[in-house]
């Protein structure tokens, strides 16, 4: 559905350089710190900024050949950007009806009622959480084939985040040909939602992994200095010095479980994975 | 493009208090001012209000979201010109309705109005087109705040040029007016229409380049 090949985009002091694929029927996550290049990647795919080199294909077409009609099949949430805050949700409904042939007004109104969004309120009168809900509802309102959601859960409390994630999951289940690229800095969002994820740091993709494999095969091994010396290091990805010795990241949990049954070996969550990928040292 | 028109229309509609105030002041003006002032006031305010929709698009990083919608950058520029000129024509039409009502009420002289109105409307449309053709590219290129400064500078420059010109060529103004009076009306109208079309065409092309080069 979306292919990014050898993309390069340079700003003073920053270079985005990445390859990525978002196939149909998958929810792909994009994680990284603030300023890692997540939003730049989204904006480049949406042609809001232009790449210096590389190639982006969307719906099997070069990005330059994407028409207004094709753009009807893209559902977008952008961090910090939305419809003018001086119009009401009722106005937004009228505008969406003009922009999107497949806009489902009845379903959108039902969802607004479900999320207690008063359609007569101006956008500027909505809380941060309400605005985030509105943005996601809009992206899901016109049967888009691909969702490009940049930080859709930012500013939301736990319950509201769960609601939004459930809504996205439900939307994806409705049609198995749909695809989604979602960025978030909240790792648990991605753990529960995404089929695979890319980790981006300083404009570069440093890891691409299936979520299932991450949760089953990746492990954090905590060892003393003595234990570390004896440890087979061929499956260690990163190592970080700690007060007690070393914390090691591996993608071969079974190997270490079988060969070092006395060691402390824990499953790795995304948060710890990010931390060790960014702060740990390569072997 | 329909969605863009709807968006701009709703932004204008949400300024209903401002619109009502403009017409209230217009009606009060019509009791004391000449029809020319009334038509100029309402037409110009209509133009400025419609120009203001660019600021709404720009606010809160709005362009990024706007251009992620199913539109392209060229159609945004064309819609903006059509919307601003269209709104101005609607406001002018409303001002004419007020003039008509005032004439029926005997406040304006019917004969004077019919004699003055065509040339006045033509001159006003000319001014509005020039204002739009300069202001829209500046707004798109520099944003609301900076473009305002450039407009002030441009106005000051025009004022200085006019002043210097009148000092260097004192009889030029009188000659120009005399020349216009001797020119057939149809020729003047033709020149104005051609000027408006050429000026707007150039302005639209400049805006298309500005918007195409922008990154959000």
Do A202 and A225 reside in the same domain of the chain? no
Do A240 and A157 reside in the same domain of the chain? no
Domain interval for residue A95: 2-210
Q: Is B70's Cβ below 8 Å from some Cβ in A?
A: yes
Residue bearing the bigger pLDDT, B145 or A138? A138
What is the band of B75 on the pLDDT scale with cuts at 50, 70, 90?
Answer: very high
Do A72 and A155 reside in the same domain of the chain? yes
Do A158 and A96 reside in the same domain of the chain? yes
Note whether B62 contacts A81, CB cutoff 8 Å: yes
Distance from CA of B10 to the nearest CA of A (A): 7
Average pLDDT, chain B: 87
pLDDT tens-digit map of A101-134: 999 999 999 999 998 899 999 999 998 888 989 9
Do A109 and A34 reside in the same domain of the chain? yes
Do A162 and A88 reside in the same domain of the chain? yes
Complex ipTM? 0.83
Q: At which of A181, A210, A239 does a domain end?
A: A210
What is the band of B101 on the pLDDT scale with cuts at 50, 70, 90?
Answer: confident
Do A206 and A223 reside in the same domain of the chain? no
Do A239 and A199 reside in the same domain of the chain? no
Do A78 and A194 reside in the same domain of the chain? yes
Instruction: Check pLDDT > 80 for residue B30.
Output: no
Residue A147, strand partner residues = A75, A180
Closest-CA residue in chain B for A82? B65
Q: At which of A170, A194, A210 does a domain end?
A: A210
Q: Is B69's Cβ below 8 Å from some Cβ in A?
A: yes
Note whether B70 contacts A71, CB cutoff 8 Å: yes
Q: What is the pLDDT of residue B39?
A: 84
Number of folded domains that form chain A? 2
Note whether B62 contacts A46, CB cutoff 8 Å: no
Note whether B3 contacts A98, CB cutoff 8 Å: yes
For chain A, give the longest Cα–Cα distance: 68
Q: At which of A176, A210, A244 does a domain end?
A: A210
Q: What is the pLDDT of residue B67?
A: 94
What is the band of B41 on the pLDDT scale with cuts at 50, 70, 90?
Answer: confident
Note whether B10 contacts A94, CB cutoff 8 Å: yes
Instruction: Check pLDDT > 80 for residue B173.
Output: no
Q: What is the pLDDT along chain A (283 residues), one digit of tens a residue?
A: 899 999 999 998 899 999 999 999 999 999 888 888 999 999 999 999 999 999 999 999 999 899 999 999 999 999 888 898 889 999 999 999 999 999 999 999 999 999 889 999 999 999 888 898 999 999 999 999 999 999 998 878 888 888 888 999 999 999 989 999 999 877 778 888 899 999 998 899 988 999 888 888 899 999 998 888 888 888 999 999 998 999 999 999 889 888 988 888 988 778 888 888 888 888 7
Tokens of B53: 């929709």
Note whether A85 contacts B59, CB cutoff 8 Å: yes
Q: What is the pLDDT of residue B107?
A: 79
3-state SS class at B67: coil
Could you say which of B11, B59, B70 has the minimum Cβ distance to residue A100?
B70
* Preferred mutation among A12, A84, A144 to probe B, highest tally of B CBs within 10 A: A84
User: Rounded to an integer, what distance in angstroms lies between the CA atom of residue B73 and that of residue B75?
Assistant: 6
Q: Is A98's Cβ below 8 Å from some Cβ in B?
A: yes
Residues of A numbered 36-75 whose beta carbons fall under 8 angstroms of chain B's beta carbons: which are they?
Answer: 43, 46-50, 68-69, 71-72, 74
Do A179 and A106 reside in the same domain of the chain? yes
Do A196 and A78 reside in the same domain of the chain? yes
Do A206 and A224 reside in the same domain of the chain? no
Residue A173: which CATH number? Answer: 3.40.50.300
Do the Cβ atoms of B192 and B186 come closer than 8 Å? Answer: no
């Amino acid at each position: 559905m979306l292919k990014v090949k050898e993309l390069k985009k340079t700003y003073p002091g920053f270079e985005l350089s990445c390859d990525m694929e978002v196939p149909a029927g998958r929810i792909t996550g994009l994680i990284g710190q603030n300023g890692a290049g997540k939003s730049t990647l989204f904006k480049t795919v949406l042609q809001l900024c232009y790449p210096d080199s590389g190639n982006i294909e969307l719906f099997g077409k070069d990005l330059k050949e994407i028409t207004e009609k094709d753009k009807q099949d893209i559902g977008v949430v952008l961090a910090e950007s939305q419809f003018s805050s001086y119009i009401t949700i009722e106005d937004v409904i009228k505008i969406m009806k003009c922009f999107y042939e497949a806009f489902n007004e009845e379903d959108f109104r039902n969802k607004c009622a479900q999320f207690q969004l008063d359609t007569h309120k101006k956008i500027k009168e909505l809380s941060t959480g309400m605005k985030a809900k509105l943005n996601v509802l809009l992206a899901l309102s016109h049967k888009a084939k691909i969702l490009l959601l940049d930080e859709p859960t930012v500013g939301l409390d736990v319950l509201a985040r769960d609601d939004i994630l459930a809504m996205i999951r439900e939307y994806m289940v409705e049609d198995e040909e749909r695809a989604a690229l979602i960025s978030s800095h909240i790792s648990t969002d991605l753990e529960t939602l995404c089929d695979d994820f890319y980790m981006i740091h300083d404009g570069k993709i440093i890891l691409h992994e299936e979520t299932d494999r991450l949760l089953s095969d990746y492990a954090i091994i905590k060892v003393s200095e003595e234990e570390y010396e004896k440890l087979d290091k061929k499956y260690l990805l990163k190592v970080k010095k700690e007060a007690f010795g070393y914390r090691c990241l591996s993608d071969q949990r079974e190997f270490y479980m079988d060969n070092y049954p006395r060691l402390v070996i824990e499953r790795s969550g995304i948060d710890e994975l990010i931390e060790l990928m960014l702060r740990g040292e390569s072997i | 493009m329909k969605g863009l028109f709807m968006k701009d229309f709703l932004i204008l509609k949400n300024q209903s208090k401002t619109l009502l105030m403009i017409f209230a002041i217009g009606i009060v003006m019509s009791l004391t001012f000449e029809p020319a002032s009334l038509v100029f006031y309402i037409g110009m305010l209509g133009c400025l209000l419609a120009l203001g929709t660019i600021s709404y698009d720009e606010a809160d990083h709005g362009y990024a979201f706007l251009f992620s919608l199913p539109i392209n950058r060229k159609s945004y520029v064309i819609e903006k010109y059509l919307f601003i000129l269209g709104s101005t024509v609607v406001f002018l039409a409303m001002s004419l309705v007020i003039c008509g009502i005032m004439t029926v009420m005997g406040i304006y002289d019917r004969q004077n109005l019919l004699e003055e109105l065509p040339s006045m409307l033509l001159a006003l449309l000319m001014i509005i087109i020039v204002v739009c053709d300069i202001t829209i590219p500046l707004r798109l290129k520099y944003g609301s705040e900076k473009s305002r400064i450039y407009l002030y500078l441009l106005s000051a420059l025009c004022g200085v040029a006019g002043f210097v010109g009148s000092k260097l060529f004192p009889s030029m103004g009188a000659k120009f007016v005399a020349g216009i009076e001797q020119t057939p009306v149809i020729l003047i109208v033709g020149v104005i229409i051609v000027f408006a079309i050429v000026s707007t065409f150039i302005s639209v092309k400049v805006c298309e380049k500005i918007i195409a080069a922008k990154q959000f």
